[in-house]
Amino acid sequence: MPIPLPTPAIFAHRGASAHAPENTLAAFELAIRQGADAIELDAMLCASGEVVVIHDETLERTTDGQGLVSETPLEVLRQLDAGSYFDPAFSGQRIPTLEEVLESVGGRIYINIELKNYTTPRDPLPERVAALVERFGLEESVLFSSFNPWTLRRAHARLPRVPLGLLTTPGWMGTVLNGPLGRLLVPYEALHPERRSVTPALVAAAHRRGARLHTYTVDDPAEARYLFALGVDGIFTNDPLLWTMDGGRLTTDR
Ligand code: G3P
Ligand code: MG
């Protein structure tokens, strides 16, 4: 299914994470208020099997908890404060479940769900995420992304209408996956390279394959201007307000 986003699209990376604690409902609501085209969030399984929305595999950086998300059950995760580390004003924020996020912002903004089972690639994350998206009927406003091609293939097998974004890293592995092999492995609608990998040739190659190119993570307006001039179809940014507020529009076609 084609990705129904403008070019260039503004993805609020982990929500509007420059102004609210990342991967919280507050950050997602703020991204909507700031006019982002999409939100990006990170999904993984906790010990009791629910899909939770958090970036790190450990709790220390963004919550007042300790240890691995994968070893902590939801009833414990629910008690943690996921906002105070950012600003005491956000002390009521919790680690949301994907179910809560889809229920509260699903259908109100396009959602890029990054499937983050990198250290547990055989876990049922892709199938559980796909089941939730199907239950909420959000196939047309969700995109699955991952650095793991096999995770994307499993999500695709379960819910083939949802578009895929293949994330790639800088370095030799990313270079290989940005090439024809990546497209052979994953029938993606979008390539998601790191910003330093973006070249005119890479943009052209993605477009030749009929795919969009969305690059992460861009918070510098000058760099964004350069990338938009190259023809990238979207950027992940922690600060959507830089691009969407009236004075911050970088192109006239948004
Ligand atoms: O989707 C872009 C970006 O989120 C990938 O890296 O580590 O921020 O999840 P990370
Ligand atoms: Mg991410």
3-state secondary structure 28-48: HHHHHHCCCCEEEEEEEECCC
Active-site residue, 55 included: yes
Residue 66 lies in a domain: no
Is 73 a domain residue?
Answer: no
Domain count, the chain: 1
Catalytic residue among 13, 19, 192, 214: 13
Atom number, ligand 1, closest to the C-alpha of residue 165: 1
Q: Is 236 in the pocket of ligand 1 (CB under 6 A)?
A: yes
User: Is 82 inside any structural domain?
Assistant: no
Which two tokens mark 94?
Answer: 């919790």
Q: What is the pLDDT of residue 245?
A: 61
Residue 47 Cα to ligand 2 middle (Å) = 20
Collapsing DSSP to helix, strand or coil, 179 comes out as: coil
Residue at 78 is within a domain? no
pLDDT in 10s for each residue of the chain, 254 residues: 899 999 999 999 999 999 999 999 999 999 999 999 999 999 999 999 999 999 999 999 999 999 999 999 999 999 999 999 999 999 999 999 999 999 999 999 999 999 999 999 999 999 999 999 999 999 999 999 999 999 999 999 999 999 999 999 999 999 999 999 999 999 999 999 999 999 999 999 999 999 999 999 999 999 999 999 999 999 999 999 988 764 444 443 44
114 lines ligand 1 (CB under 6 A): yes
Q: What is the pLDDT of residues 59-97, one digit of tens each?
A: 999 999 999 999 999 999 999 999 999 999 999 999 999
Residue 213: which CATH number?
A: 3.20.20.190
Using CA atoms, how far apart are residues 15 and 156, in angstroms rounded to an integer?
24
> Does residue 76 lie in a domain region?
no
Regarding the beta carbon of 145 and ligand 1, being less than 6 Å apart is answered: yes
Owning domain of residue 36: 9-59+97-251
Q: How far apart, in Å, are the Cα atoms of 82 and each of 45, 59, 75? A: 17, 9, 14
User: What separation in Å is there between the alpha carbon of 47 and the centre of ligand 1?
Assistant: 22
Using a cut of 0.85, tell me whether the model's pTM lies above it. Answer: yes
Secondary-structure breakdown of the chain: helix, strand, coil percentages, each rounded to the nearest 5: 35, 20, 45
**Cα–Cα distances in Å, from 132 out to 29, 47, 202?**
20, 18, 33
For residue 71, tell me if it sits in a domain.
no
Q: Which residues pair with 51 in a beta bridge?
A: 45
Would residue 90 count as lying in a domain? no
Residue 2 belongs to a domain? no
The residue nearest atom 3 of ligand 1, judged by CA position, is 216
Burial of 230 (0-12, 13-18, 19+ CB in 10 A): middle
